[in-house]
Each structure stands twice: as C-alpha cells, then as structure tokens.
C-alpha cells in the first residue's frame, strides 16, 4: 500500500479512486464493512482502492490527550491487509481545518481523482464539521462522482458498532464484547521498560509495558503477549498497584510459560481476551501471591492453555 502524508503530497492523475473517508480508529467491524465496499467497487470498476484518514484523531482538537484504540502504524498495516492500495494520512493542521466543505472537496478530493466515495453514518467534514453526507452528495453529483452512505452494523441489541461504544465497553472491563465489535482482540502496543521490580520480588516477574493506547478498566486480564513473533500466554495487571501506594497506572504482563531472559527495550503486542477481576488493595505480599496463583490458574483454564511443567 502506498502511503502519503498531507494532501499536497498525494499524486495527481494517478488513476480513478474508490475512496473511503474516516478516522478508522481501531478498524472495527463497521470500518471493515466500509473498506470492503470500496475495495469491491475498485475491483469491479477497475479503479484504485484508497482511504483518506486523519492523524491526530479529530477528537484531540482542543484536548490535551485522547488515547487511541490503535496506533497509526497498526491502523495503516490493517488497511493494507484489507486490500487498500493507497492511503492519505491528513494532519489536522489549522489550514486544513479551516477549509469549507466546498474547498475540502475541490482542493483535496477532486485533484486525487476520486470517482466513488463511501462514508459512514456519522460523517462530517469542513470547517467546524459544517458539512454532512447530504453536502458531500450534492458536491459529488455536480462532478459526476458517486457518493455512498453505508449504514452502521448493529448488534443483537440493536445498537450500532462504533469506536465510542467500544471505548465505553473497555472502560467497563467488557473485553469480550469489545473484541466482538472490533473483530479482533484489543491490543496494547509498546516497549518493555524497567519497572519497580515488585513482581520479581514476589516470584512473578512481569514485563512493564509503556503504551499510549486507551487503557481499559483497572484490573487483571488474560491474554497473549507477542515477542519476536512468538505468542505467550499472559496474566496482565492494568492500573495503579494500590497495595504499594502507587497512583500512576501501569501495564504489567506475567508470562507463566516464558523461560527466556529479560527483554527490556523490545517492542511487544499485548492482546487482551479475558477479564478476570477488578484491581483491589491487598493486606500484604502473601495475599498478593495467593491472588496471583488463582488468577494464573483461572486464565490458563479459561484460555485452555495448560502449564507445560505440570
């Protein structure tokens, strides 16, 4: 997949595009429906499948921070795996956000060679989000461009799949349903950094992971940590270790079946698949060890991975 940063760098006259527009944070099932639509349109119409996405996230405007569901690098990797041929990553610069809907269409979409556009239900564009799908369709029709509004995918309860809903589920610790809506396991990406060594002192050495993604409800989770293309079962604690008076949240993964050495500085991917319990304060080290033994046994049982040394 060819990647371009800023619309001024996107090649003109590179061919006819079937374009999907959106942030696509998390690349959930709803996003995948939209991507599949333009990939199919491109195939049938002998066009190029393309995506216009935004970084940083539009929700960051006016905010100090807005943790993502997936880092940009992984978002782009996922789009490529779904069959997208070209992606424009547009920075939300003052000049860009000042564009009116008509200017957005004429200065960005027309020079790209767009012939078919697909967007989701919540789509808006232009200065202060002043344009919607009706605006887009009106502008597109004037240039003989097709514009499609794809309906949301809904779950059995009638609710739409959205990044906002997935964020709420993660904040409630409902990792199972969040993963179902994502269509993949929620994953934290980061680097292993030195920690306080408390787990090692208790007989449960953990990998302390520095990540920038949205942290779910503080608690213990089961999942898998990928290191050097090998996937290890992981018992994960997310949050501030209250027993030790800590106030800053950490992500610590214990790998019960890992027998290698330390891997500080390594990039890892930590999939979360099972919620075990919320964080709690313990009376002392003995109580922590007992709880960790129970947590690991539960995770091995639920994820159906037995201790090879047993």
> Domain 185-302 classified CATH 2.40.30.30?
yes
* Angle formed at CA 242 by CA 241 and CA 244, multiple of 5 degrees: 75
Using the predicted structure, report yes or no on whether residue 147 has a pLDDT greater than 80: yes
Q: What is the pLDDT of residue 304?
A: 80
Rounded CA-CA distance 74/19 in Å is 20
Please check the confidence at residue 306 and state whether its pLDDT lies above 90: no
Give the residue range(s) of CATH 3.40.50.620 domains in the chain: 2-149
Task: Read off the pTM.
Answer: 0.92
pLDDT for 199 equals: 67
Q: Is domain 2-149 classified as CATH 3.40.50.620?
A: yes
4 three-class SS: strand
Percent of the chain as helix, strand, coil, to the nearest 5: 35, 30, 40
- At residue 202 the predicted structure's pLDDT band, cuts being 50, 70 and 90, is confident
Could you give the angle at which helices 175-182 and 163-171 cross, rounded to 10 degrees? 160
Q: What is the mean pLDDT of residues 206-216?
A: 95
Using the predicted structure, report yes or no on whether residue 168 has a pLDDT greater than 50: yes
Proportion of the chain above pLDDT 90, given as a percent: 77
pLDDT at 7 over 70: yes
Cα separation values, 86 from 48, 53, 122, Å: 8, 11, 23
What average pLDDT does the segment 93-116 reach? Answer: 95
Go through the chain and tell me how many residues it has: 310
Residues of the chain with CATH 2.40.30.30: 185-302
Q: Euclidean distance between the first and final Cα of the chain, in Å?
A: 46
CA 310/CA 302 separation, integer angstroms: 17
- At residue 200, the pLDDT reads 72
Collapsed DSSP state (helix, strand, coil) of residue 25 = coil
Residue 137 predicted with pLDDT over 70: yes
CB 17 within 8 A of CB 86: yes
**176 Cβ neighbours under 8 A, 6+ residues apart:** 273, 274, 275
CB 34 within 8 A of CB 20: yes
């Amino acid at each position: 997949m060819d990647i371009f940063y800023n619309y001024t760098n996107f090649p003109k006259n590179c061919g006819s595009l079937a374009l999907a527009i959106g942030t696509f944070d998390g690349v959930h099932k709803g996003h995948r429906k939209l991507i599949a639509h333009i990939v199919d349109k491109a195939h049938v119409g002998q066009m190029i499948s393309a995506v216009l996405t935004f970084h940083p996230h539009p929700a960051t405007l006016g905010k100090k921070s807005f943790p993502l569901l997936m880092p940009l690098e992984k978002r782009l990797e996922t789009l490529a795996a779904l069959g997208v041929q070209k992606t424009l990553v547009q920075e939300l610069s003052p000049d860009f956000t000042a564009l009116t809907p008509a200017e957005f269409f004429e200065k960005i979409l027309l020079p790209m060679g767009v012939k078919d556009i697909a967007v989701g239900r919540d789509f808006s564009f232009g200065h202060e989000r002043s344009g919607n799908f009706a605006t887009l369709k009106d502008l597109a029709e004037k240039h003989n461009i097709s514009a499609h509004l794809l309906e949301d995918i809904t779950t059995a309860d009638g609710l739409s799949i959205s990044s906002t809903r997935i964020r709420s589920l993660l904040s409630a610790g409902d990792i199972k349903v969040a993963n179902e809506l994502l269509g993949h396991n929620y994953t934290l990406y980061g680097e292993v950094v030195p920690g306080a060594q408390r787990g090692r002192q208790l007989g449960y050495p953990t990998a302390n992971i520095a990540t920038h993604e949205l942290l779910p409800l503080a608690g213990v989770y089961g999942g898998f940590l990928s290191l050097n293309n090998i996937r290890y079962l992981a018992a994960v604690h997310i949050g501030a270790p209250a027993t030790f008076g800590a106030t800053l949240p950490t992500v610590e993964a214990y790998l019960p079946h890992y027998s290698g050495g330390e891997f500080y500085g390594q990039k890892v991917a930590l999939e979360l698949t099972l919620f075990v319990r919320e964080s709690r304060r313990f009376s002392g080290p003995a109580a922590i060890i007992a709880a960790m033994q129970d947590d690991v046994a539960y995770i091995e049982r639920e994820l159906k991975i037995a201790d090879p040394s047993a």
